Structure 1
């Protein structure tokens, strides 16, 4: 293999997948001295923000594999990894995959009590944790022994590592989990080939803009990070991974590390949009890559206004101010975003448009009765793609409940227009049917408010059915300095004017709240189920605003 055709050869290799990409590349001996992965923390004496070459990465992973093997870990053993640092998550995943064990990556932001229940359901052979997370688990029953502190894994001798396990395409190779916004996170099993399918697809295409130097601002325990690591390794791309996804942390990393592309979730884009981006040096950024929930127009527009991109013109390739934003819709279970749409400062297709399906994805819109719906009709998103996870670990009931007519039901409500573009309106669990038969879509309502109320950085719409009555609360987080610039009554009128009439009729209050009072899952998603439960108990976040029902009563 040579540097000119290695991407095509890797794409055509049927044995390649997320279980053996690193060991395969090291064995081929191409680009061993090239920088590969960079972490934001020191690991094994290697300084933070100093790149590991491919050879160094292979050595560090082999050292960990040797230690794990000495601790008794064998092929097909599920092992939970509950840590904070991206370096510990990624290196542990690669070392366990080297052995043929199955890493179950646990987001470090999951509270100890919840993590203990989750690990207990995994029925793993052991837990790898750092000191902080071992303390989190203390006092909680997991039925799983702590194997040791991850800080000691690198002490093994690389030469003592067992031969790399021979992975097969449909075998489970890593377990990640859902966001847990509706309860205990669900354990999702991915195969050797499923998480690699999108990487294989991209290897068969020309290398895109931004695929030289990428910053991964994704939760390290997420399936998206596993994909990003393999995408970087196989494309000979430098990838830096940050352990926290806060807006200031990501902006600091952009300024210091100078990536061409930044990978992240919607929650991070919201935080970035709330910062003074003009005061930051973001000229290196050509593209923002979003996965998970689709991003809001208000946040996308602020991001594409910075950075620069290359554009083909009649005069050749020219650099223009402003960046690309590649949006879509994905989830842990989907294994990769199934749609894509590219925004620039000049584009104007928003309204929660998630674009068109990738070439590898077969998607449909399905009614509650199982009928495949046509253009303009809202229904559940069904996906059939090689990227799909195998199912839920130790939970066949949920696995088969989410399958219908050969499609995985994602839990998202969407529709497509006559041009073939798809639009996301809500999660099925958050939408509410109104007494007149109309539907209230909370995510679509949030999009309308953010797009039409420029002083609002973030909002959460909570719709609760209590008997025959639907009551909606709009919780607002203003942009910096905007909290008191608009009178409460005027802000409420602005919000109601942004909403569809049948939605506005249900709004009981419009409140500015402290963002710290909004409950979030470990990946930054709002836990609307918990907010609805709190509403019924009279415990919704308190803030300054307008109680519209009280105003209506006083008017009578």
Structure 2
């Protein structure tokens, strides 16, 4: 069977979903010996950087399924997995879904105290940790620690029970939000929901020209990490999953760039923080010629970062001499969130692209989007900012053990994503801010922090990244700080206040308290690399209230 016919067969298989990809690939006769997944760390004695076939993956997963079953794990048991490496996430995810259990994947960067509270709220049936997170066992978890992740591969694959047969709406994995406003929320995804975009898009779109080698710099424990793994397995692409951490919250630029040069991927997946990391480096000094596509999800990416990326890499083009690689790559921006289950919007940038200003393009065909006035429940007019409402087969089932939040985020049959956008005359959507970060300045004027950051970066080319923090004080005034992270060659003594004021515009500039250059560790981030603006707002208001502040 040809590759395209095999993909069509998978797309039509309504038993296939996020929880049984290995099973259904085998049952459909996939090539079990083809190299599929590579990790940058050892796996059960298999050296790092060794490509694993479907046969090897299945054996290693079966060993873990047997290990968990021997410890009493059964169908529908929520099992917390708090580890660092990508194989410890993915192989235990696949093993637990083999049993019909519900893996609760926790980002290894989550602080221990938050992790303990997260597990307690799960009411988990068990917990798996690794050596990096062994201290979790010293906390009251309300659940037994089943063992160290290093032990899970010691099970006997021959003792694994038959693979669980999932119903489309079975809960298949619990992931978590970025934790920007509270303890990260536990979000539960269904067997079909977390696979819906793969079925609707990834298995039906045209297969890229030539060999496809994709590299994921995404957190393995994120829903996007699971989707990236499953779509690569179903499409027959080779996938490299990075584990090495170069900083407290993100893969470092050197980690990512070295992996690209070593493994030569044609596509790279990451979050917005990934591209901010790469903005530290003069990319023209590195060999990135293999990369044809950069894939972003989560928050939409900043124009200044995208332009750096599309200027490097290559793309295939036809000439009189046949197919050749021409300079310049594509950047595919897919705004989404954990709760959305997959990006709902898509826009592609190339050399010469001019659709920026936080334009996120148009929705995917499977996503129905409305922009709502949440007070009235009515749609806003084109050009007006509204709250994004989404209907999509990709949507998560809700928040685990938290029906209050689940139903509070629904309005008129739509899920409220927490994003603010407007739609232009061409039907393209533009993201201006998270609803929790925007500030009403009165008289119909709003301060949108994300849009302000975009404009500061555009006006200040020697600024690598920035964070705009705004808060309404008790006296009704609004105070804004602009925090700048400078490029390596920028002059830290330069006063950028006037340039920042011009970028912000008169209404927002009138609220400006200070423009300050800061080190990276002064930006408070959640486990997935998103800025925790609510904590930074608390700092801002505390500073504004202090004698002599400003």
* Same fold by TM-score greater than 0.5: yes
Aligned to 1:483: 491
- CA deviation vs aligned residue, 1:169-211 (integer Å, no higher than 9, x gap): 0110000000001010000000000010011012122124687
1:539 is displaced (CA, Å) by: 8.8
* Residues 206 and 442 of structure 1: CA distance in aligned 2, closer, same or farther (over 3 Å): same
Aligned to 1:554: none
CA distance in 2, matches of 1:505, 1:364: 32
The 10-residue stretch of structure 1 (310-319 or 445-454) with the greater mean CA deviation from structure 2? 310-319
2:123 is the counterpart of 1:141: no
2:354 is the counterpart of 1:355: no
2:378 is the counterpart of 1:371: yes
2:205 is the counterpart of 1:198: no
Aligned to 1:330: 336
1:310 is displaced (CA, Å) by: 2.0
Aligned to 2:131: 131
TM-score by length of 2: 0.95
1:311 is displaced (CA, Å) by: 3.9
Aligned to 1:40: 40
| Structure 2: gaps spanning 5 or more residues | 246-250
Aligned to 2:248: none
1:472 is displaced (CA, Å) by: 0.5
CA distance in 1, matches of 2:80, 2:542: 36
2:310 is the counterpart of 1:304: yes
Task: Give me the CA root mean square deviation.
Answer: 1.7
1:313 is displaced (CA, Å) by: 7.4
Alignment coverage as a number of residue pairs: 539
8 Å CA contact 1:2, 1:30 repeated in 2: no
CA distance in 1, matches of 2:35, 2:389: 40
Aligned to 1:506: 511
1:328 is displaced (CA, Å) by: 2.3
Equivalent residue for 2:403, pick from 396, 402, 425? 396
The runs of at least 4 aligned residues of structure 1 exceeding 3 Å deviation read 1-4, 208-211, 311-318
1:522 is displaced (CA, Å) by: 0.7
* Residues 210 and 400 of structure 1: CA distance in aligned 2, closer, same or farther (over 3 Å): farther
Aligned to 1:290: 296
CA distance in 2, matches of 1:312, 1:340: 25
1:318 is displaced (CA, Å) by: 4.7
Q: Specify the SS of the correspondent of 1:471.
A: strand
Aligned to 1:104: 104
8 Å CA contact 2:137, 2:145 repeated in 1: no
| Structure 1: gaps spanning 5 or more residues | 541-546, 551-556
Superposition pairs of residues 47-446 of structure 1, within 5 angstroms: 47-135=47-135, 137-201=136-200, 202-208=202-208, 212-243=212-243, 244=245, 245-311=251-317, 318-368=324-374, 369-446=376-453
The 10-residue stretch of structure 1 (283-292 or 428-437) with the greater mean CA deviation from structure 2? 428-437
- CA deviation vs aligned residue, 1:309-339 (integer Å, no higher than 9, x gap): 1246799755321110001210000000001
Q: Specify the SS of the correspondent of 1:45.
A: coil
CA distance in 2, matches of 1:104, 1:65: 15
1:9 is displaced (CA, Å) by: 0.3
TM-score by length of 1: 0.94
Aligned to 1:470: 478
2:517 is the counterpart of 1:517: no
